[in-house]
Amino acid sequence: MMCRNKLDQVIEQAYTQHSFRPIMDLACKEEAALAAYERAKTQLAHAEERCSALRLALAYEKTLMMAGPLPRKRLN
């Protein structure tokens, strides 16, 4: 609803000013917001990949810990 109200205000402003400038300004803001969203989406995907890798590493470490100590021959 907020987007609709903003769009209505911009259209009314453009009508009263007899100019497309308010609409163009709103379009520029929308493009900037979309670009920021895409960057955030990419950063989230990378963070999820790192989190997944950390989970795998933790699971591997847990498996090693549960297996008990390494034999002395293997330590040398």
pLDDT in tens, 12-63: 999 999 999 999 999 999 999 999 999 999 999 999 999 999 999 999 999 9
Q: Identify the CA nearest to 6 among candidates 31, 28, 23.
A: 23
**pTM score:** 0.67
**Alpha-carbon Rg for the chain in angstroms:** 27
Q: What pLDDT, on a 0 to 100 scale, did the predictor assign at position 74? A: 60
Q: What pLDDT, on a 0 to 100 scale, did the predictor assign at position 3? A: 87
| Helical pair 21-66 and 2-17, crossing angle rounded to 10 deg | 150
Half-sphere exposure for 53 (CA within 13 Å, toward CB): 6
